[in-house]
Amino acid sequence: DVTAPEPLDEVELAVEGALRPGTLAEFVGQHKVRGQLQLLLDAARIQQRPADHILLAGPPGLGKTTLAMIVAQESERPLRLSSGPAIQHAGDLAALLSSLTPGEVLFIDEIHRMARSAEEMLYLAMEDFRIDIMVGKGAGATSIPLDLAPFTLVGATTRSGMLPNPLRDRFGFTAHLEYYEPDELERVVERSASVLGVRLGEAQRVEIARRSRGTPRIANRLLRRVRDYALVHSGGTQPALADVQAALDLYDVDAIGLDRLDRAVLDALVRRFRGGPVGLSTLAVTVGEEPDTVESVVEPYLVRIGFMGRTPRGRIATPEAYAHVGVAHPDGALN
């Protein structure tokens, strides 16, 4: 799926790597977060200590991994990459933490999916750079304290609400990443096009940015499909606006950048549930998707563009959503 906000495979990851900005100055948008991170890194540099732990929260593809890499780069520290699903036992985390070198930056993606037992170990590690390792079982079990090298934890999550408070409280700073504005996405596309050797006019950049769902990862991916399209159909590296439109239509990205799943959710909400309110799990079952995906990937964007509301009784469609789906709003007659 060309608009999936998640990276697809090794090849995609490698291309993504090539398109990653390497410094805070090159990182487009997120002005507030950039300023906050800069201060944190500068203070750590002056005091010659590892930076405070950082939590990066927001939908997939907005730059969390990229920022973690920049934190390591700018503080001239090595970076270790891991993820919540890879840490299924406290022992996995103990092995990881005890192998860190002084000042290392540890990135844990999807940190909300770490095992509970590991979470508890992490509290102590973050606070005191120390863990207790349990040895033996039952009455003979003892815990052996182990000192760790000081490190900076950078956690990323699409679901900051799912993190237990004690864990959230141990981060010195939480950055909430926002969807990007069209002009910011244009800059992402411009930069990536020059890395990929694609020549794009302004109209083409605007069109790609407008249809990227506020997400740099999607902007980069659409750009690569546009490049493919121009290569195959006009044998060049200079896509025309018609190439852009044809490529994006081919991959089912609609005029405002919604993908098939976004549209399926809207369609179910408007037609099947007559605008709601409907519960998340019912909605997810109807479109054949995991509730987690609907909640952390689809809904934030639909809410952001004013197509969906979340109420205590469930999800509701706005008049704008009706208009996009092409169904008359029930209150229409009153206007």
What are the residues binding ligand ADP (CB under 6 A)? Answer: 16, 19-21, 27-30, 60-66, 156, 188, 216-217, 220
80 vs 271, which CB is nearer to ligand ADP?
A: 80
Q: Which residues contact 54 (CB under 8 A, 6 or more apart)?
A: 37, 40, 68, 71, 152, 153, 154, 155, 171, 172, 173, 174, 175
Q: Point out the residue whose Cβ comes nearest to ligand ADP.
A: 63
Is 227 a residue of the active site? no
CB 274 within 8 A of CB 266: no
For tokens 């439109």, name the residue. Answer: 245
Q: What angle do CA 148, 175, 187 make, to 5 degrees?
A: 120
- Give the separation between CA 210 and CA 251, rounded to whole angstroms: 15
- Give the separation between CA 210 and CA 233, rounded to whole angstroms: 23
Is 158 a residue of the active site? yes
Smallest gap from Cβ 19 to ligand ADP, in A, equals 4
Per the structure block, which two tokens stand in for 237? 């590296």
Q: Which of 64, 113, 213, 225 is catalytic?
A: 64
Q: Which of 3, 152, 157, 158 is catalytic?
A: 158
Helices (H), 99-164: 116-128
Smallest gap from Cβ 188 to ligand ADP, in A, equals 5
83 vs 282, which CB is nearer to ligand ADP?
A: 83
Q: Which of 109, 243, 262, 267 is catalytic?
A: 109
Smallest gap from Cβ 185 to ligand ADP, in A, equals 9
Is 237 a residue of the active site? no
29: left (phi over 0), alpha (psi -120 to 50) or beta: left
Smallest gap from Cβ 63 to ligand ADP, in A, equals 3
Is 217 a residue of the active site? yes
Q: Nearest 5°: phi and psi at 194?
A: -70, -35
Smallest gap from Cβ 179 to ligand ADP, in A, equals 11
Is 32 a residue of the active site? no
Q: What angle do CA 212, 225, 25 make, to 5 degrees?
A: 55
- Three-state DSSP at 295 gives helix
63 vs 103, which CB is nearer to ligand ADP?
A: 63
CA 89 to chain centre: 25
- Give the separation between CA 242 and CA 248, rounded to whole angstroms: 10
Type and span of the H or E element at 281: helix 280-287
- Give the separation between CA 271 and CA 325, rounded to whole angstroms: 9
189 vs 268, which CB is nearer to ligand ADP?
A: 189
Query: Which residues does the annotation mark as catalytic?
Result: 64-65, 109, 158, 217
